[in-house]
Amino acid sequence: MKIRAGYEISYDCPQPTPMILQLSVHPSRLADLLNPDRIQLDPPLPASTYTDSFDNYCHVIRAPAGRLTMSTNFEVHDDGKPDAIAPRAKQHALENLPVDVLMFLLGSRYCETDRLMNIAWSLFGKVPKGWPLVTAICDYVHQHIAFGYQHASPTKTAWDAYTEPRGVCRDFAHLAVALCRCMNVPARYCTGYLGDIGVPPDDTPMDFSAWFEVYLGKRWYTFDARHNKPRIGRILMARGRDATDVAIVTSFGPCTLAGFKVITDEVTSAAPANT
């Protein structure tokens, strides 16, 4: 299938403000792009691009005082398959994990494994390891947190999401990631596009989405505690330990979000004209 995606995001800056942008499609999806995913900046600005330690594209800019608008519009090919399901995927003993996976067992800014450790073991200590354990964690988080955009907060952590309990997709992901790590399952946070493809359309405005990946059976698998079922058409932008590593905009100075629009739609073939 073909998916059209993009965004238009505006910030107001009271003074020139350095920023790091993580708005590009992840390098792992570059081969699927049908036309370039290029960030357009208004006013035009120079950008220095690098790849971070998680293999995400990052763009460094210096936003001028006033309004800055960033946008893109592109099409990408997708295989149209839902997230993989592997009920027999095994959990690895820590000593058998690849060394580059070990960091995803540790606590991080938004995933406080130390505060959630006892809770995790009391809830899931008797659940069979591997795929059944991660599925049980997703089921729990999906039922535990009440979703609502009015509950969004940039400072909310996994512990906050557990104790409130309410939030948006990033909070579902943070709590699930933290609980997986507590149970010795490597888990990493992901962000990207996820449109209403293969599901009933949602009337709320489109947004970027957050999900997570776990390392089982010698590979990474996608899980989504917010939707809690396999989905079609994910377009990965960035992955890391938590939202700190994948923020779409990290500003080094005060600025105010002035506009936010995301599109993610399946491109359908037009019906042939009657003759």
Domains annotated for the chain, with CATH where assigned, are 2-79+249-267 (2.60.40.2250), 94-244 (3.10.620.30)
Would you give per-residue pLDDT tens digits along the chain (275 residues)? 999 999 999 999 999 999 999 999 999 999 999 999 999 999 999 999 999 999 999 999 999 999 999 999 999 999 999 999 999 999 999 999 999 999 999 999 999 999 999 999 999 999 999 999 999 999 999 999 999 989 999 999 999 999 999 999 999 999 999 999 999 999 999 999 999 999 998 888 889 999 999 999 999 999 999 999 999 999 999 999 999 999 999 999 999 999 999 999 999 875 454 54
68: nearest Cα among 42, 44, 93: 42
Burial (CB count <10 Å: 0-12, 13-18, 19+), residue 216: buried
Query: Is 0.85 topped by the overall pTM?
Result: yes
**Partners of 200 in beta bridges:** none
